[in-house]
Structure 1
Amino acid sequence: MKYLDIDNWNRKQHFEHFRTLTDPTFGLVADVDVTKAYLSSKEKGNSFFVRYLHACMKAINAVENFKYRIEEDKIAIYDVINASPTIARKDNTFGFSYVLFSEDFEEFNHNFQQEKKRIENSTNLFPPKYSLGCIHCSAIPWVSFTGHKEPFSGNKNDSVPQLSFGKIKETNGKKILPVAINVNHALADGYHVGQFFQKFQQELDKID
């Protein structure tokens, strides 16, 4: 991990401006085509959620600004961004996980399954290990939403991106997944969110 040179950053004024706001976050919902990920998971017996989450994490790690985190008056740059998805239990509660990212799907899937097993055999809400070098995400497979709002802690330094994945809808023979994303505007703009969705779709289209 290293720190950003804020004084020479071309977004210095943007950073300083958005930090003055009561709530500096912004979010939106966009659709992605998960047809290949869905078919692949069914053919190979993999979890569909893990399949598209891996593609999502590859995209997250490909966008520089999504690796930035506000730490007091500094901006830390994390080398790798991991995943912290909510994982459901049989009693309809959930636990927060911390899944180490790997470019290799099988390794990432192994890491996810280990966390899933831990949560299913625990009543703890929080994982034993955690770092700001992650994203928070959850699946809401009961609703194909077009809008979404994340809880806000009130801490303007909160800068971990938050994502939610909705219920698949069928459109022209394709399986479409609504994806909500919420980011701190002090660190990222619509351009960076657009980069993420472009790279996410590219990763999904590579799946065989």
Structure 2
Amino acid sequence: MKKIVFDNQHRKKHFAFFNHMNHPHFNITANVNLSSFLPYVKSMELPLTYSLVYLLSKAANDINEFRWRIRENEVVEHERVHPSFTVPTDEAEVFSFCTVPFKTSAQDFITDAKQINEDMKTNPSIEDEPGRDDYLFMSAIPWISFTSIQHAMHYHPHDSVPRISWGKFFVQNNTNLMPLSVQAHHALVDGRHMGRYFENVQELLDNPELLSV
């Protein structure tokens, strides 16, 4: 982890402008194309959810700004950020968070995710580890092909962890699509970074053989 110092005056003003807002997060929802990803995952017998979580996490880790966090009005950059995603449990109809350390190897990540998820089924957790903000909060809404989403979160003080959600797959013009929502703190992530994230996701979806690395 390292401290980020803004030397550019306009970047300093941009950070201060959004950081002092009561609601500094912004959210973009768009459809991504699964036409290459879905058949590949099926042919390789890969678990769909863990493969998708890995892919969405890799796309975020490849962008510095998605690894930035605000701590007492200072910005730090984590070397890696780790997905904390919703999973069903055997204890109740509400979800548990499943936090899996991100690894560059998709196969290693998927192996860890399977084991941690099994533990969560009977020992669910919804609390974050105190002092940690190196997360990516993720949630699946597989019942709805949503066009927007609003997340529950603290505003006073607000956190700077991105929220990433995906919805029900659907077919349009013979193309498999998935709604993807990304929410981030505007003092850290601007529209250009958000656009780069969606580009990263689509490139990985179009080249799913990376999941076998």
Q: TM-score, normalised by structure 2?
A: 0.91
Which residue number corresponds to residue 28 of structure 2?
Answer: 28
Which residue number corresponds to residue 2 of structure 1?
Answer: 2
Which residue number corresponds to residue 93 of structure 1?
Answer: 94
After superposition, the C-alpha distances for 1:132-173 in whole angstroms (9 at most, x for unaligned) are 112000100000001111113113441000011100010222
Which residue number corresponds to residue 202 of structure 2?
Answer: 201
Which residue number corresponds to residue 51 of structure 2?
Answer: 51
**Structure 2: how far apart are the matches of 1:207 and 1:35?**
10
After superposition, the C-alpha distances for 1:94-138 in whole angstroms (9 at most, x for unaligned) are 111211111211111012112201111214323668831120001
* DSSP-derived class of the 1:46 partner: coil
Which residue number corresponds to residue 140 of structure 2?
Answer: 139
**Structure 2: how far apart are the matches of 1:10 and 1:196?**
23
The runs of 5 or more residues in structure 2 that have no matched partner are: none
**Structure 2: how far apart are the matches of 1:78 and 1:33?**
29
- CA positional deviation for 1:53: 1.7
Which residue number corresponds to residue 151 of structure 2?
Answer: 150
**Structure 2: how far apart are the matches of 1:87 and 1:95?**
5
Which residue number corresponds to residue 60 of structure 1?
Answer: 60
8 Å contact 1:97–1:119 — kept in the other structure? yes
Instruction: Flag the 1:87–1:127 CA change in 2: closer, same or farther, 3 A.
Output: farther
The alignment yields a C-alpha RMSD, in angstroms, of 1.8
- CA positional deviation for 1:12: 1.0
The answer to whether 1:106 aligns with 2:110 is no
* DSSP-derived class of the 2:159 partner: coil
Which residue number corresponds to residue 160 of structure 1?
Answer: 161
**Structure 2: how far apart are the matches of 1:16 and 1:127?**
27
**Structure 2: how far apart are the matches of 1:158 and 1:114?**
29
After superposition, the C-alpha distances for 1:166-204 in whole angstroms (9 at most, x for unaligned) are 000102222101001111001111111000000110011
Which residue number corresponds to residue 38 of structure 2?
Answer: 38
| Percent of matched pairs sharing the same residue | 27
The number of equivalent residue pairs is 208
Which residue number corresponds to residue 81 of structure 2?
Answer: 81
Instruction: Flag the 1:82–1:130 CA change in 2: closer, same or farther, 3 A.
Output: farther
* DSSP-derived class of the 1:97 partner: strand
8 Å contact 1:135–1:160 — kept in the other structure? yes
Q: Which amino acid aligns with 1:186?
A: A
Q: TM-score, normalised by structure 1?
A: 0.93
**Structure 2: how far apart are the matches of 1:9 and 1:114?**
47
**Structure 2: how far apart are the matches of 1:38 and 1:51?**
10
* DSSP-derived class of the 1:100 partner: coil
After superposition, the C-alpha distances for 1:18-75 in whole angstroms (9 at most, x for unaligned) are 1121111110101111222211222222221211221111110111111100011211
Which residue number corresponds to residue 192 of structure 1?
Answer: 193
After superposition, the C-alpha distances for 1:79-108 in whole angstroms (9 at most, x for unaligned) are 011111011124422111211111211111
